[in-house]
Structure 1
Amino acid sequence: MHAVLDSTPPDDEPGWAGPLGPLLALPGVTDVLVNGPADVWLDRGSGLERADLGVRAALASVRSVRDLAVRLASLAGRRLDDASPCVDARLPDGSRLHAVLPPVADGCAAVSIRRLGAGALDPRELVASGMVDPAGMHALRDMVRRRASLLVTGATGSGKTTLLTALLSLAAPTERIVVIEEAGEVAPDHPHVVRLVERRANVDGAGAVPLSALVREALRMRPDRVVLGECRGAELREVLLAFNTGHRGGLVTMHANSAADVPARLTALGALADMRPDAVALHAAAAFDAVIHLERGADGVRRVVEVVRLVLRGGALGVERLPGPTS
């Protein structure tokens, strides 16, 4: 399957993206991938498809792919060269760039762009997309209004950020939401959102501001809801402490293969923060009111497939299924 491009570029085609601009401007595009010369792919929600011949022809050599990768990294304010062959950064529109040069990438530079959504989906759009059914949407809305603390889990591309953003849009407009992220992806339709973005160390290894530090800073900003765009390391300890000291109504996303795997995943992340498994279990069971797990089906539809709560069983963390918002 090939992506078909109109001969007239869309008005919102990002010129900074060079030959990838037409792909990034296509409706529904979530990912654009360059694997090598003339090897360009995109995802519009139904799986990967090969890009138009014109785009592939513009990236037909190893040199052209490398030049594109270096140029995009420069636009993101990052260095990409033989001494620093990997980069993970934000592009001018907020999209996430990952690029790797040889010899780390075999033979040719590899470029991956994760496109941000155009905006937060409202509840009707979540239902229409098949992510959740009407009764499930009602249950989710009730959780947000009751200020339940929620953990949203799933694999990469399962819709965690989409659901998180939509749920935040349901929060009362009088609430102050502080969002902590690695990259600026969460953009809810809400009048009072403050975003803190992680800063990585510079080429000299200095100046880093990690997510764990930003969680602590967020607690001093008079938040009504503390939100962590993705928990993947030692920042888990700060989140658990925050959610157990009166900061209710927060939301966190985390990678997990299934709802049943969430306890093991939490334990592993807790170990990165020097937390014992029993400490993680006690804090997590009290911190989160529900775990909402998503999966992307073979048809490309992202769905809420399970809602569980974390429970203690003999001192160990387990899950117990809840009736709730599954499609």
Structure 2
Amino acid sequence: MSVPHPVLLGPGSDRTATGTGITEKVRHRFAVDGVPPTADAVVTAVKEDSSVSLLGDTAVRRVADRVRQDLVGAGPLASLLADPAVTDVLVNGTEVWVDRGAGLHRAPKAFGHPDDVRRLAQRLAASCGRRLDDGRPYADAYLPDGTRLHAVLPPVATSGPYLSLRTFRQRPFTLADLVRCGTVPPQIGRLLTAVVEARLAYLVVGGTGSGKTTLLSTLLGMVPATERIVLVEDAAELRPAHPHVVALQTRTSNVEGAGAVSLTDLVRQALRMRPDRLVVGECRGAEVVDLLGALNTGHEGGAGTLHANALGDVPARLEALGLLGGLPRAALHAQVVAAIQVILEVRREARGRVLESIGVLVPAGEQQLATVVPAWQRARGAGPGATTLTRALADRGVRVAPVLGPRR
């Protein structure tokens, strides 16, 4: 027995027509006839259905658009994903939650039945070439428009299915945008510009959803147009507004367990592509060893992101990743200090994402282990590392001493 398709329509919409199962009728017709669900074909099929025969042309077109979204788009979630303010759409069973940059809020929309969520998740996963069924009840993929999809089916998802969709922003943020929305203070915006201009290597760190990719994309957009940026990512998320960007993306193995291409493989390939700026979208494994090696062999101005809770946690996190690559502890710390100069920490708060602090990597102690010293903190202003940072910029011909201001 077919479960009626979910009805997530606003006041005055054609609730009766859609609720009678017209989507399932059109889907069955296209499957039997082998007709592709183009916009015109869907309109024709909807018009021929008796449940909409009394509706006017405008209403029919509205129903047809909704049916096509259920067939080939994001279905009931399409309007949310189209909202430029939305960053995340989460589905828990039949509930829908939305983040518009200020935390999660429950949407007034809800799915009619978990089976509707399952069908939508499987169709979206299949459109990305991913398997999602009882044999493999989870999938991580990117939709054609760049939206990131993660889905988990029962019984792994105990009250699921669960869907997590992170939207892709078509227009990258500029530094002025980040200053305007309060993510970056104006005076620190000038400092970030100086870091890029001086070709200092930096890492953007923070928790999940804190805005690491957004900040990194913005800073890469400030790289001079005469330079070539080579991106290496596990999944293509970075979209800097720059005229000369080439991107490499990892590949998972096929059903036979062959054909995988790792981040480590891609970092090595990127070094042969004449990069002016080598960027690893997210350091999460042994590839950090290759990145450090690259940044220590003349590739200045490189960047990447790293999951870390605070500035002080960065050396330990890098050490853990470096050990995966077989690099001894002392050698790893020496490479970190020589390769990376600046750490940018971002944090997600109730009012949105903010640049929390800026640190510099310096050797400390008898063993000369990498240590992060705060140069600026949102709550305290300039820190003990401010002098080190301004000196590093001045050594490269960029003077920004007044930007950090007095230490509080």
Instruction: Report if TM-score (shorter chain) is over 0.5.
Output: yes
Summarize deviations over 1:25-58 as a string: whole Å, max 9, x none.
1121111111102x111111011111233xx1xx
Summarize deviations over 1:192-240 as a string: whole Å, max 9, x none.
0001111111222111101111111111011111111111111111111
- Per-residue deviation at 1:273? 1.4
Match of 1:221 among 269, 273, 282: 273
Specify the SS of the correspondent of 1:236. Answer: helix
Unaligned 5+ residue runs, structure 1? none
Specify the SS of the correspondent of 2:73. Answer: helix
Partner of 2:393: none
Q: Does 1:198 align with 2:242?
A: no
Partner of 1:309: 360
Amino acid in the other structure paired with 1:296: R
Q: Does 1:321 align with 2:374?
A: yes
Match of 1:52 among 92, 108, 116: 108
Amino acid in the other structure paired with 1:69: A
Aligned mates of 1:81, 1:218 — CA distance in 2: 36
Aligned mates of 1:4, 1:280 — CA distance in 2: 56
Partner of 2:309: 257
Amino acid in the other structure paired with 2:308: A
Q: Does 1:283 align with 2:335?
A: yes
Partner of 2:96: 40
Q: Is the 8 A contact 2:292 2:336 kept in 1?
A: yes
Match of 1:28 among 78, 81, 85: 85
Amino acid in the other structure paired with 1:153: V
Partner of 2:395: none
- Per-residue deviation at 1:125? 0.7
Unaligned 5+ residue runs, structure 2? 1-7, 14-61, 376-385, 390-402
Aligned mates of 1:150, 1:201 — CA distance in 2: 31
Specify the SS of the correspondent of 2:232. Answer: strand
Aligned mates of 2:116, 2:9 — CA distance in 1: 22
Q: Does 1:166 align with 2:218?
A: yes
Compared CA separation, residues 4 and 303, structure 1 to 2 (3 A): farther
Higher deviation after alignment, 256-265 or 113-122:
113-122
Match of 1:88 among 132, 136, 140: 140
Amino acid in the other structure paired with 1:224: D
Specify the SS of the correspondent of 1:112. Answer: strand
Show the 5 A alignment for 1:172-191. 172-191=224-243
The structure with the greater share of residues assigned to helix is: 2
> Identity rate of aligned residues, in percent?
49
Compared CA separation, residues 103 and 132, structure 1 to 2 (3 A): same
Partner of 2:203: 151
- Per-residue deviation at 1:131? 1.3
Q: Is the 8 A contact 1:161 1:186 kept in 2?
A: yes
Aligned mates of 2:268, 2:10 — CA distance in 1: 46
Q: Is the 8 A contact 2:92 2:159 kept in 1?
A: no
Amino acid in the other structure paired with 2:236: G
- Per-residue deviation at 1:108? 2.5
Aligned mates of 2:285, 2:186 — CA distance in 1: 34
Aligned mates of 2:322, 2:157 — CA distance in 1: 32
| Backbone CA RMSD of aligned residues | 2.3
Partner of 2:300: 248
- Per-residue deviation at 1:5? 7.0
Q: Does 1:125 align with 2:177?
A: yes
Aligned mates of 1:5, 1:269 — CA distance in 2: 49
Aligned mates of 2:203, 2:196 — CA distance in 1: 12
Amino acid in the other structure paired with 1:306: S
The structure with more radius of gyration: 2
Aligned mates of 2:86, 2:257 — CA distance in 1: 35
- Per-residue deviation at 1:276? 2.3
Q: Is the 8 A contact 1:87 1:100 kept in 2?
A: yes
Q: Is the 8 A contact 1:94 1:183 kept in 2?
A: no
Summarize deviations over 1:239-258 as a string: whole Å, max 9, x none.
11110111111111001000
Q: Is the 8 A contact 2:102 2:349 kept in 1?
A: no
Amino acid in the other structure paired with 2:193: R
Aligned mates of 2:205, 2:98 — CA distance in 1: 24
Aligned mates of 1:28, 1:107 — CA distance in 2: 28
Specify the SS of the correspondent of 2:124. Answer: helix
TM-score (norm 1): 0.91
Q: Is the 8 A contact 1:65 1:109 kept in 2?
A: yes
Q: Is the 8 A contact 1:311 1:318 kept in 2?
A: yes
Aligned mates of 1:118, 1:194 — CA distance in 2: 17
Amino acid in the other structure paired with 1:310: L
Q: Does 1:235 align with 2:291?
A: no
- Per-residue deviation at 1:279? 2.0
Compared CA separation, residues 4 and 254, structure 1 to 2 (3 A): farther
Aligned mates of 1:48, 1:73 — CA distance in 2: 24
Partner of 2:19: none
Q: Is the 8 A contact 2:271 2:294 kept in 1?
A: yes
